[in-house]
Amino acid sequence: MKVRMIAFCITFVLIANAIKIGILEKELKLVELCKIAINDAQNMNQCTSENIQILNSTACLVDRAKGIVSAVSFHFQDEVEAFINSRCKNEMLDIASLARYWNSPVISRTISNPQIKNNTLYPTVVHLGLTSAIDFTYAIKYLADYMNISSIVLVSGEKRKNLEYSIVAGMKLVAQQQNLFRIEKHIMIAESSITKRKHLSDNLKTPSKMIVIGNDFLQPEIVLTKLNVAALSHHHYLIIFVCNQISESCTIPIKYIISNAKIIVLAPVVEGHEKILSELSKRMNFAVKLVEMEKYLATYDACYGFCFGTLYSSASDGRKFAKTMRNRQFSNAMGEVIFDNNGKRLQNYAFQLLPSKDAEFKVVMQLSMVKVPCTADNLMTWKISKNNLKVIETKQSKGNAVSDKLTNKRRILESYALVDSSKAEFMCFKQQKRILWSTEQLDFLYELKSLNHNNLTNFIGICYNDSERLYVLHTLIERASLEDFIYDFDFNMDNTFKCAFVHDILKGLQYLHKSPIGCHGMLSLKTCLIDANWVLKLTNFGVSTMLSELIDLNYIKPIEAIPYQFYITIAPELLSNIEIGRNFPKGTASGDIYSFGMMLYSIVYRTAPFDRLFLKEVIDNVIHKSLRPHVDNQQNDPLTTLICQCWSASPDSRPKLRNIQQTIETIFSSSKGNLVDQMIKMNEKYAENLEHIVAERTSLLVEAQKQTERLLCEMLPPSIAAQLKKGETIIPRTYESVTVGFCQIVDFMDLMQQCTADQVIAFLNDTFMTFDEIIQSHDAYKVETTAETYMVASGVPSENGGKHVFEIAEIALQIREKSLTYRVAAAPDWKLSVRIGFHCGPIAAGVIGIRSPRYCLFGDTVNFASRMQSNCQANQIQVAESTAKILMQSGKYQLEKRGVVLVKGKGNVNTYWLNALKQKNSQESENIMERATPDLIQNVNNTDQISTSTDDSLSSYDTMQYDNVDGIHR
């Protein structure tokens, strides 16, 4: 019994001290997979040593609040520190909002909803979803720009209460918020009634030649057939089918249609998905289907990623945890996961074609995502994909550059590489293990890629983890190396050439030593290349230490033994710590000075150090006996003295580059001038710099113009903004009939007392953005917002044939409907209520202001509409009798007489509540609206007399019935 008590106490202590993580998931198989992922991370030492306890609760049911309730219970009752977020489109945002106040880490498994990407609103979220509406939108933007297409048509399924957020809906939101491209039309198709719809494809025939179709259909084969995509493709429409899974998975039932209509599929690229399926199936003890791979993989990576994050930050601080995950990467059994500087998983995408239904997809364009550091410069541009690298074998034997003429001298290379369309020379190694760079190494590679100097070749990057080979690539210089010229005795190397070459070497070394790279590390005659303009450029710089460390850790090894000739110019203190023939030295700045001395010896005497000696013995004597090349310095020649100083056995005794530069200028005082070709190169570089400056200033000007146009369109109606941009004068004018509406938030001051300033601003932004979305689907214009008041008008400046009163009426009804269900996260007990009033009548309008122009409305109609709102009750829509008559004449609306109201400046006025829109035949309603001509409105307006009657009758409308709307007015 005592033993059992001890065991119980130990177990209790372990659980009490465990990190508790809550996964919001209704599928128990995914919960079990999460446990497996955490166990895998612990076994791979990619997790904290602390015990991790996994709790799970149901989420994503029909009741959207279930997941939120579960999260609240996790936090307050179970003391859960972190969450694996729900996959439900609505719950994920609500739970992320709660986690912001709890400061709890949230691992998101899907970010198709672009709003959760906002690090300001959701600062504790780490994104491990495989796909993103943001990424899809930018991919479409890239293709549209490439094909010079300015607008697109979107097609998606009807809104369904399911787990997934519509990709197309997310893309539309991103495109509109960031103004990436114009959306010509967004067509939502209800699958339940699609068979009854005729000529559906006619809706897609627009001036836009790009049609984007989402894969959020239950039966995509029926939808694509009904859309007649083959005919659209025949008429030169470019059709893009967007998949949130790999193309092989999401196109299973529609391969024939895809291939026949030449539809391009945009889908994520998941390397080795067969292996991933195998690994998942092995862990789950059943065969995971291809169509289910995305959700299983996202859950596995999410749980593994959380475990990985506990190595660097405590789960008790969600903000710090999320920041720690930025710019990191990890590998597991499923592959590599890389984060950008926002804590979002980087995912590659591809546009693909299917030649035939039985063929494999062919990639026509691949988009690779790379990290972007805080400086907004690309961080991983040095990472070269195997798909972008092609090695060309020249079938030539190794040798020096040869040619009959000096100007045609060319290096003989066994092979070179093509990176996209650029030629590169490379160092190749056998890769034995998958490489995970540390933060310091990533920073180093970023700095290496950023180096830019006239006397350095460009470091293109590294190709790794894609095959059994690792490639280090630099720009190919085809003319010759310095070694080729020195040992070519037909070449007359006078002091002009010597001075120019030495100066170039010193300028390149000075730049490297002052840079974060610090040194060259492999300086020799072979790594000094002469380009077509006779400019000497250093290559293979900065990588020796990195390669040495990778070899020491058995990540890579040389394919062939490193020749002894390579070590001849390396400083002895660097040779003593490495295995000759197998490894590279760890470079230092003082080691570069020694190497420069060896090169200067060859330049002056035009012979190799230790020529005709056994190199293995030479290297051993250099290390242990301070062997140096023989020089005759009886005349105390300053150049020979400088060479011997560079060879000093003590690194601290070697001269500084600054002193070497001064000595060289003194020795070659008669040959200070540069070569003619170098002067031409400098002029070209200067011209190129000027072109860059002009292009940069031009792009800034264009961007400023775009921002001005966007601001102008926000401040003014589009037609007025267009006139102003053309320089036209806006003439003030009077409109005979316009409808003006006001909407005010009730008890706004109470909300301000309950919330902070940023919460109030966030609430107003969200509320008014919702109102803006409603207005966008109507022929109306938002005039302005003042504090909690929202003003809208229709029929001005674009007259719409008397339909303005109906447009404002429907806007008012929709705003009230949205308001009744709106909840404020910062004040759960406070409910949003609005007062709405509108009025129809004549107004005057014009542009006021020059520096900050506004389109202003004037007249009694504006005042009357404002009074209708201010005298209105909460959650009601109030109109005067004249406006009510127009609405009742249409027979489309349910109104109820409120009675006589005392209105400031108007006296007693008969007013009505607008309660609802009647459910009538849509064609009949449209015909009635068309009969509501301006003449009819004008006749009704003529009856707009201030009534003092308290009678409940309404002239000729006595026999009409106006029902109350249940729940709106009792």
Query: pLDDT digit string (tens) for 668-712?
Result: 776 555 555 545 554 665 577 688 878 888 888 888 777 777 776
959 pLDDT above the threshold of 60 = no
**589-608 residue pLDDT tens:** 999 999 999 999 988 888 88
- d(C-alpha 210, C-alpha 949), whole Å: 61
Model confidence at 17, pLDDT cuts 50, 70, 90, reads low
Q: Which residue has the tokens 């035939």?
A: 356
Q: How many CB atoms lie within 10 A of CB 651?
A: 16
**263-305 residue pLDDT tens:** 899 988 888 888 888 999 999 898 888 888 888 898 999 999 9
39 pLDDT above the threshold of 80 = yes
Amino acid identity of 243?
C
Give the DSSP letter of residue 160: -
**The length of the chain, given as a count of residues:** 970
**469-506 residue pLDDT tens:** 999 999 998 888 888 888 887 777 777 788 888 989 99
pLDDT value at position 425?
Answer: 92
Q: What is the mean pLDDT of the chain?
A: 81
Concatenating the DSSP letter of every residue in 17-43 gives TSEEEEEE-S-HHHHHHHHHHHHHHHH
Q: Enumerate residues 6+ apart whose C-beta is below 8 A from 546.
A: 441, 444
Stronger pLDDT, 902 or 372, i.e. the higher one:
902
- CB-CB contact of 290 with 281 (8 Å): no
- Cβ-based burial of 924 (10 A; exposed 0-12, middle 13-18, buried ≥19): exposed
**Backbone phi and psi for residue 950, each to the nearest 5 degrees, phi listed first:** -105, 10
- Domain 133-268 class? alpha beta
pLDDT value at position 359?
Answer: 82
Token pair for 511: 């730049």
Give the DSSP letter of residue 80: -
pLDDT value at position 492?
Answer: 74
Q: Enumerate residues 6+ apart whose C-beta is below 8 A from 338.
A: 329, 345, 346, 371, 380
Model confidence at 538, pLDDT cuts 50, 70, 90, reads very high
Give the DSSP letter of residue 114: G
Preceding amide of 373 cis, omega within 30:
no
With residue 235 as reference, give the H or E element that holds it: none
pLDDT value at position 946?
Answer: 43
Give the 3-state secondary structure of residue 93: helix
Model confidence at 371, pLDDT cuts 50, 70, 90, reads low
Contacts of 787-792 spanning 24+ positions with Cβ under 8 A: 787/748, 788/744, 788/745, 788/748, 788/764, 789/742, 789/743, 789/744, 789/745, 789/869, 790/742, 790/743, 790/744, 791/740, 791/741, 791/742, 791/743, 792/740, 792/741, 792/743
- d(C-alpha 323, C-alpha 103), whole Å: 12
Amino acid identity of 603?
I
Spell out the domain ranges in the chain.
13-130+273-346, 133-268, 386-674, 729-957
pLDDT value at position 947?
Answer: 40
> For residue 534, which of 482, 585, 595, 575 has the smallest C-alpha distance?
482
Give the 3-state secondary structure of residue 621: helix
Q: Which residue has the tokens 């009969």?
A: 931
Model confidence at 104, pLDDT cuts 50, 70, 90, reads very high
pLDDT value at position 933?
Answer: 42
Concatenating the DSSP letter of every residue in 341-403 gives TTSBB---EEEEE-SSTTS--EEEEEE------TTSS-SSTTBPPGGGEEEEE----S---B-
> For residue 107, which of 20, 17, 18, 22 has the smallest C-alpha distance?
22
pLDDT value at position 714?
Answer: 65
- d(C-alpha 486, C-alpha 468), whole Å: 37
Q: Which CATH architecture has domain 386-674?
A: Orthogonal Bundle (1.10)
Mean pLDDT of the 147-160 span: 82
Model confidence at 411, pLDDT cuts 50, 70, 90, reads confident
965 pLDDT above the threshold of 60 = no
151-157 and 182-189 beta bridge pairing: parallel
Give the DSSP letter of residue 166: P
Percentage of residues in the chain with pLDDT exceeding 90?
Answer: 22
| Helical pair 881-890 and 804-821, crossing angle rounded to 10 deg | 90
- d(C-alpha 881, C-alpha 941), whole Å: 9
On the question of a common fold for 133-268 and 386-674, the answer reads no
- d(C-alpha 268, C-alpha 350), whole Å: 6
188 pLDDT above the threshold of 70 = yes
> Which region among 194-198, 263-267, 749-753, 933-937 has the lowest average model confidence (pLDDT)?
933-937
Q: b/e for 799-816, b at 16 or more Cβ within 10 A? A: ebebbbbbbbbbbbbbbb
**Backbone phi and psi for residue 939, each to the nearest 5 degrees, phi listed first:** -60, -40
854 pLDDT above the threshold of 90 = no
163 pLDDT above the threshold of 60 = no
- d(C-alpha 262, C-alpha 449), whole Å: 40
With residue 118 as reference, give the H or E element that holds it: none
- Radius of gyration over alpha carbons of the chain, in Å? 37
Helix %, strand %, coil % of the chain (to 5): 45, 20, 35
- CB-CB contact of 878 with 868 (8 Å): yes
**427-470 residue pLDDT tens:** 999 999 888 888 788 889 988 998 888 899 999 999 998 888 99
Helices assigned H by DSSP within 626-656? 638-646
394 pLDDT above the threshold of 60 = yes
Give the 3-state secondary structure of residue 390: strand
pLDDT value at position 422?
Answer: 86
> For residue 368, which of 346, 384, 385, 348 has the smallest C-alpha distance?
348
Q: Which CATH architecture has domain 729-957?
A: 2-Layer Sandwich (3.30)
Token pair for 946: 């201030």
536-538 and 125-127 beta bridge pairing: unpaired
- d(C-alpha 464, C-alpha 69), whole Å: 46
Give the 3-state secondary structure of residue 371: coil
843 pLDDT above the threshold of 70 = yes
**917-927 residue pLDDT tens:** 886 444 444 44
Stronger pLDDT, 949 or 698, i.e. the higher one:
698
Q: Enumerate residues 6+ apart whose C-beta is below 8 A from 279.
A: 333, 334
With residue 471 as reference, give the H or E element that holds it: strand 469-475
Helices assigned H by DSSP within 838-932? 860-870, 881-890, 922-931
pLDDT value at position 8?
Answer: 35
Mean pLDDT of the 545-559 span: 92
Stronger pLDDT, 839 or 181, i.e. the higher one:
839
- Domain 13-130+273-346 class? alpha beta
Percentage of residues in the chain with pLDDT exceeding 70?
Answer: 85
Model confidence at 229, pLDDT cuts 50, 70, 90, reads confident
> Which region among 12-16, 242-246, 889-893 has the lowest average model confidence (pLDDT)?
12-16
375 pLDDT above the threshold of 80 = no
pLDDT value at position 675?
Answer: 58
- d(C-alpha 154, C-alpha 204), whole Å: 9
Model confidence at 944, pLDDT cuts 50, 70, 90, reads very low
Stronger pLDDT, 166 or 646, i.e. the higher one:
646
